[in-house]
Chains A and B, each alone.
Chain A
Amino acid sequence: MSTFDQVANIIAETCDIPRDTITPESHAIDDLGIDSLDFLDIAFAIDKAFGIKLPLEKWTQEVNDGKATTEQYFVLSNLCARIDELVAAKGA
């Protein structure tokens, strides 16, 4: 199963969002309506599933400081790319 499919399944299950409405282009916040508290449950499930620790604090800080956009982290294709990077870094 691809990273995207795993993440989409987690989001669908955690937030009760129809799976077929979740696409790689979906923005978790703007399109799927996931708030920061719900995202903690998603992060928990992703951390467990992939054996990583999503650096939410760092991402939030970067967005707040204007150094990154929410799209870079919360559009699902980008989120999955970050997850793949973290998984690769873990195995390095």
Chain B
Amino acid sequence: MRLEYFQLIDRIVDLDIGARTIKVEATVPTSSTIFEGHFPGFPIMPGVLLVESMAQTSGWLLVALNRFERMPFFASIKDAKFRQFVKPGERIDVTARVVHEGSGYAMTQASITVGGKPRCSAQLTLALVAFPNAELRSHMEELARRIEFPQHVLVQG
């Protein structure tokens, strides 16, 4: 997890095009200026960053389903629940599945667990649009390599 670059997932563990599911993992850094403020003496991962990690996870699933031809942008969230704190140094497992693919948007159900125990969940909507420019697409392709995006899914039927 590179908080300073807003890269909240480390590695794609599983991506199943047929089932429309994804599982990723990320390790929360042990130190960050974020934890100096959130909170002094009691550092915990901010809920908004947990939401962002679920959005990024959902996004990679949608990138795969759309064969890198659409860029997902976070549009809305429902039923976000934060059950337990996520602390510095913990490894989070983030899963997402598509619950609906609409025209130009998709909805996912995502959740975060630590050691198999639920920490948070939400339903997310992401708008799917053409990549606004080549620079962003190139950045996403580079990021895909970094997080071990399984390229073979792009050629699957």
Q: Which residues of A contact B (CB under 8 A)?
A: 37, 40-41, 43-44, 47-48, 53-58, 60
Q: Please tell me if the beta carbons of A40 and B75 are within 8 angstroms of each other in the complex.
A: yes
**Alpha-carbon gap, A34 to B125, bound state (A):** 17
Q: Please tell me if the beta carbons of B100 and A44 are within 8 angstroms of each other in the complex.
A: yes
Q: Supply 15 further A-B pairs (C-beta < 8 A) apart from A40-B76, A53-B102, A60-B104.
A: A37-B76, A40-B102, A43-B102, A43-B103, A43-B105, A44-B100, A44-B102, A44-B107, A44-B125, A47-B100, A53-B101, A54-B103, A55-B103, A56-B104, A57-B103
**Alpha-carbon gap, A55 to B104, bound state (A):** 8
Taking CB as reference atom, which chain B residue is nearest A48? B100
**Alpha-carbon gap, A58 to B101, bound state (A):** 15
**Alpha-carbon gap, A53 to B127, bound state (A):** 15
**Alpha-carbon gap, A48 to B103, bound state (A):** 13
B interface: dominant SS: strand
Q: Please tell me if the beta carbons of A56 and B75 are within 8 angstroms of each other in the complex.
A: no
**Alpha-carbon gap, A7 to B107, bound state (A):** 20
Contact of B125 among A40, A48, A55 (CB under 8 A): A40
How many Å from the CB of A89 to the closest CB on chain B?
A: 15
How many Å from the CB of A62 to the closest CB on chain B?
A: 13
How many Å from the CB of A50 to the closest CB on chain B?
A: 13
Point out the residues of chain A lying under 8 angstroms from B75, CB to CB. Answer: 37, 40
Tell me which of B100, B104, B125 has the highest count of chain A C-beta atoms within 10 A of its own C-beta.
B104
Q: Please tell me if the beta carbons of A47 and B102 are within 8 angstroms of each other in the complex.
A: yes
Q: How would residues 8 to 28 of chain B score, 1 for a CB under 8 Å from any chain A CB and 0 otherwise?
A: 000000000000000000000
Point out the residues of chain A lying under 8 angstroms from B76, CB to CB. Answer: 37, 40-41
Q: How would residues 89 to 104 of chain B score, 1 for a CB under 8 Å from any chain A CB and 0 otherwise?
A: 0000000000011111
Point out the residues of chain B lying under 8 angstroms from A60, CB to CB. Answer: 104
Point out the residues of chain B lying under 8 angstroms from A47, CB to CB. Answer: 100, 102
